Chain A
Amino acid sequence: MKPLNEMKLSFPSKSANEAFARTAVAAFVAALDPTVDELTDIKTAVSEAVTNAIVHGYRESIQTIYITAAIYPDNRVVIRIRDKGCGIEDIQKAMEPLYTTSPEGERAGLGFAVMQSLCDKVKVTSRPGKGTTVTLTRTLAGRNG
């Protein structure tokens, strides 16, 4: 299916950009006329993935985060968040609720669980030393749904 619209975004992995990234994606998705709850869900999931890229992928060093997003005629939203950071050794383990590699940073280990509960699909691909891509898919019921 051809997307109705697409966008690309790249920005430095500063924590101040977490708010920018989720707000920018929400503004892009607004074309599908989502409900307030749907927009909040998408913003929250994007915030999780971007925070992970900053905290874990780049370990708080300033490098580049890449986001692409597309909206489709069937009301599907696909958002991809990518970093070229340290990568994930064991993806399945990383996605387990409460699993975290930085408890000293007061991380709960719930980022992936939050993404999974707010999206229809969460796909993670990663290579140690190369980076991580998180693809979030969510179909909007919208105001008439």
Chain B
Amino acid sequence: MSVRIYLAEDILTAYLSGELDHHVVRTIREEIDEAAERAHPAVLVLDFRDVTFMDSSGIGLVMGRYALMQELGGELKIENLPNHIKKVMRLAGLERLANMETGGVRK
């Protein structure tokens, strides 16, 4: 699992890849928060296109970043959700929280 973070204008995008569980979420969370606190972006995008597995630890990650962006006065977007992950996110009702794309994976 890894995260690559890019800043373009005032949009900070975190490309997540691999298996998103409790073990890896801890380090990823720190990297994203550090970048967001430094950049104060208008939008934080979490891009899930290369995430191959996710459990409720990933839901915690999204909810926590939502809270962070509220604090920073910005917006959170979730993009490119593979179907198997959409299933877990739906359970949590996360579409209401983050601006979640409902379409398929955009490659």
Residues of chain A touching chain B, judged by Cβ–Cβ distance below 8 Å, are 15-16, 18-19, 22, 37, 40, 43-44, 47-48, 51, 54-55, 105-108, 110-111, 113-114, 117
CB distance from A94 to the nearest CB of B (A): 14
Main secondary structure on chain A at its contact with chain B? helix
B23: contacting residue among A16, A48, A108, CB under 8 A: A16
Q: B60, A114: Cβ atoms under 8 Å?
A: no
Interface bracket on B: 20 to 34
B19 within 8 A of A: yes
A37: contacting residue among B55, B56, B61, B84, CB under 8 A: B84
Given A108-B92, A110-B59, A117-B91, decide whether A43 and B22 contact each other with a Cβ distance below 8 A: no
B57 within 8 A of A: yes
Closest B-chain residue to A112, C-beta based? B56
Question: Within the assembled complex, what's the spacing in Å between the Cα atoms of A133 and B57?
Answer: 20
B64 within 8 A of A: yes
Q: A40, B22: Cβ atoms under 8 Å?
A: no
